[in-house]
Amino acid sequence: MSYSRTRTHQISKKRRFRKLLFVNVTLLALIVVAGGLLAAQWSASGGVDGAPGGRSEAPPASAPAAGNADEPSGSGNANGTPTDPGNAGDASNGTPTGSDSDAPGTPDEPAGGPADTQDQVTLAFVGDILTASTVGSYMDKNGVDYPFEYAAASLQAADITAGNLETPITNREDPAENKTYVFRGKPEYLTGIKNAGFDVLSLANNHTLDHGWEGLSDTMDYLDDAELQHMGSGVDAEEAFTPVIIESHGIRVAYIGVTHVVPDGSWKAGENHPGLADTYNTKPAVAAIQSAKELADIIVVMVHWGNEREQQPEQAQFDVGHTFVDAGADLVIGSHPHVLQGFEYYNGKWIAYSLGNFIFTTNGNSVTQQTGVLKAACTKDGACGMNFEPMFAHNFQPSPMKPEEGALLLAELSDKSYGAKVDEKGDLIPVSAGGGKETP
């Protein structure tokens, strides 16, 4: 079992912090001692009037100066098996066998730049991102930025942008057995994702272990190298459930990744077992949310769930989503069905049941090509204004829809939403009790 460089980075940060703290304390002590000696010398000479014939001047003391604490390439084609699988998946939503994961740990410190005085942070979310199979072939031919050419401006406009990475990034080839579709992407494809404006990616889904734990560990390491934050996987349950915390405009946003789609129980992270953060048992995820509430202002849970190509959520999605909000989540963002599902305004918070495909192979079903960018403008108290920008992915390139087509899609999403509607501008609007579709 290989180590996770993510955990190693966390340990290194702790060590650097302790070293820096020791150096600063030592310097402070030296300054205090030097100041005491200077004061004693001054006092012994009688102060300003002590020396005969005029002012007695002590020689200047010099304090020591404080010092500072101390794109990969890949080979082989990123092909799935078969080459162009379309949007069919390989995992049911039945509870697999395997050990339950433990309660989560907490991160060392938030990632991101310095805070400022603005009073809100803007977040962007997309659904499934597959940089493999036919998509990978197009990236090889047209460049790693190709899939994001028409969507990058929207993604980059947000302070923090997140998505679900639906493929391992590795040069290893150790395909999982008994899986219909097995994917593998090249490390250089992450440059395109980074350039597009993404900051954080969830790895909790039914494909990131397509080439085993070694392949997933490679993925985490390559993401670290690309300076892309990630969550939802780890060397054990503690790491898998640990949130990424990013600070922007003085607001700390925690991202937690979990999956309700696990092809095999061995994929689940346990106390001494690497894998994914799963939510068949919601207690570990609830504990992660509650722990994150002590560290961050806004809690985002990205969850892989539901039935493929079903445009209505299943009951388990409602149950799990409500549980997360009740535990303290401010936003719950879903993926996996490969089609768009509606939104829900529940207890003052927003749930997006499925953002569908964003970058993915297609079998010609245009519904699976309907996609978009969900945008949130959130204040420090977790209140979020929401907007959905409709897009259509042609040749694996999401681009804004024409106004009339976008209006039709927004109206369909409004009809599919619960306790909310979507207006012609894409704004998500809460609907008072009895005025909108209720959760079944």
> What are the tens digits of pLDDT across the range 200-229?
999 999 999 999 999 999 999 999 999 999
Which residues, 6 or more positions from 12, have their beta carbon under 8 angstroms from its beta carbon? none
Main-chain phi, psi angles of 135, to 5 degrees: -60, -45
- 205: which 2 tokens? 């889904």
Respond yes or no on whether the N-terminal peptide bond of residue 96 is cis (omega within 30° of 0). Answer: no
* Tokens encoding 333: 């963002």
pLDDT tens for each residue of 9-39 = 554 444 444 545 555 556 666 676 666 666 5
Q: Across 92-222, where does the E strand assignment appear?
A: 120-129, 160-165, 200-202
Homologous superfamily of domain range 74-430: Metallo-dependent phosphatases (3.60.21.10)
d(CA 407, CA 390): 8
Between the two ends of the chain, the Cα-to-Cα distance in Å is 44
pLDDT tens for the 440 residues of the chain, in order: 333 454 545 544 444 445 455 555 566 666 766 666 665 555 555 544 333 333 333 333 333 333 333 333 333 333 444 433 444 433 333 334 333 333 334 444 444 333 344 599 999 999 999 999 999 999 999 999 999 999 999 999 999 999 999 999 999 999 998 899 999 999 999 999 999 999 999 999 999 999 999 999 999 999 999 999 999 999 999 999 999 999 999 999 999 999 999 999 999 999 999 999 999 999 999 999 999 999 999 999 999 999 999 999 999 999 999 999 999 999 999 999 999 999 999 999 999 999 999 999 988 889 999 999 999 999 999 999 999 999 999 999 999 999 999 999 999 999 999 999 999 999 999 997 555 677 87
**DSSP result, 366-396:** GGGGEEEEEEEEEETTS-EEEEEEEEEEETT
Taking the C-alpha atoms of residue 393 and residue 290, their distance in angstroms, rounded to an integer, is 37
Res 12: pLDDT: 45
Pairing of strands 229-231, 233-234: unpaired
Provide the residue type at 17 as one letter.
F
Tokens representing residue 101 in the block:
């994961």
User: Looking at residue 439, what is its pLDDT?
Assistant: 80
| CA distance linking residue 407 with residue 416, whole number of Å | 14
The CA distance from 148 to 156, in Å, is: 11
Q: Encode 200-245 in three state secondary structure.
A: EEECCCCCCCCCHHHHHHHHHHHHHHCCCEEECEECCHHHHHCCEE
Q: For residues 297 and 381, is the Cβ–Cβ distance under 8 A?
A: yes
Domain boundaries, the chain: 10-41, 74-430
Are the CB atoms for 345 and 428 separated by under 8 Å?
yes
